[in-house]
Every structure is written in structure tokens, then in C-alpha cells.
């Protein structure tokens, strides 16, 4: 099982504060003889719609010297997990959780805007100093 990201518990607590129930920590995905682990699985019952929403969340801190290198790795992991989820748990939506500073440094710049415009990734933007979610971006 992979090591937890430094912001793992902040994102987990923020999801709980937003009414999500953590169902998996981590969410194990089995494909053939290989196992993959998404950081969190969660669900939320929307009473008015009588529907249950399920998500998977991969938390990324972007702590290395190169944000672009981290972005490349995160996107590769996101694509892999998204494809496996689509096959194994198609009702579950994958999100990449990133700190606000990374959202500002990468996703408010042309490269990130392009990724969001092309719907390459769904984001949860969290406050890295508190247990709060700043934005959901689909």
C-alpha cells in the first residue's frame, strides 16, 4: 500500500465536514494481478434527489521542486485510476485534490486552463492550512 500524502487527513476531514461519508481509506482497485490504491472513497446521500453519489479522491501535495513534473505524474495516475474506475465502479467519479496554492500556480495559468477546458481532470481545491474545500471543479 502506498504512503499517504501529507494532506491526506486534511482532505478527508474536509470531505466529512462537507457531508461526505468516507467509505474507503484507501479505495483498493483490483485489475488482474495488480492492485491500485486511490487515496479515498466517499459517498453522499442527496435526500431531495433520493440518490447516492460516490467519489474517489486522489490527494496530491505537489511538494517537489517542479510543479510541472508533479502535474505530469498526477495526470498519469489520474488517467490510470479513472480508466480502472470506469471499468470496475462506473458510478464512482474520480477527483484530484490539490492545494489552493497549486490551483493558483498551475490551474489558473494557461496549461491548467487548457486541461480544465478539455475536461481532462476533475478537481477538489482544498485549503492546505485548514480542513476545508475551497472549490469543486468538474
Angle made by CA atoms 59, 130, 132, in degrees to the nearest 5:
65
Which tens digit of pLDDT belongs to each residue from 104-124?
Answer: 999 999 999 999 999 999 999
Which tens digit of pLDDT belongs to each residue from 19-59?
Answer: 999 999 999 999 999 999 999 999 998 876 678 899 999 99
> Mean pLDDT of all residues in the chain?
94
Distance CA 98, CA 34 (A): 26
Please name which of 10, 13, 42, 7 lies closest in space to residue 25, comparing C-alpha atoms: 42
Residue 86, pLDDT > 70, answer yes
Which sequence spans correspond to the domains of the chain?
A: 8-49+58-137
Distance CA 81, CA 128 (A): 24
Backbone angles phi, psi at 41, to 5 degrees: -120, 140
Q: Which residues are 42's β-sheet partners? A: 22, 55
CA dihedral 80, 29, 22, 133 (to 10 degrees): -10
In this structure, the number of other CB atoms found within 10 A of the CB of residue 107 comes to: 20
pLDDT of residue 51: 83
CB 12, CB 22: distance < 8 Å: yes
- Tell which CATH architecture fits domain 8-49+58-137: 3-Layer(aba) Sandwich (3.40)
Q: Does residue 119 sit in helix, strand or coil? A: coil
Amino acid at each position: 500500500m502506498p504512503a499517504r500524502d501529507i494532506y491526506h487527513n486534511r482532505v478527508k476531514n474536509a470531505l466529512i465536514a462537507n457531508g461526505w461519508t468516507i467509505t474507503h481509506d484507501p479505495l483498493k482497485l483490483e485489475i488482474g494481478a495488480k492492485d491500485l490504491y486511490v487515496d479515498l472513497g466517499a459517498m453522499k446521500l442527496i435526500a431531495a434527489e433520493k440518490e447516492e453519489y460516490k467519489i474517489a479522491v486522489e490527494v496530491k501535495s505537489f511538494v517537489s521542486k517542479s510543479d510541472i513534473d508533479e502535474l505530469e505524474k498526477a495526470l498519469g495516475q489520474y488517467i490510470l485510476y479513472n480508466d480502472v474506475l470506469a471499468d470496475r465502479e462506473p458510478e464512482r467519479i474520480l477527483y484530484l485534490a490539490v492545494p489552493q496554492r497549486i490551483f493558483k500556480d498551475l490551474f489558473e495559468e494557461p496549461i491548467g486552463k487548457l486541461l480544465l477546458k478539455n475536461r481532462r481532470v476533475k478537481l477538489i481545491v482544498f485549503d492546505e492550512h485548514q480542513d476545508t474545500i475551497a472549490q469543486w471543479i468538474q
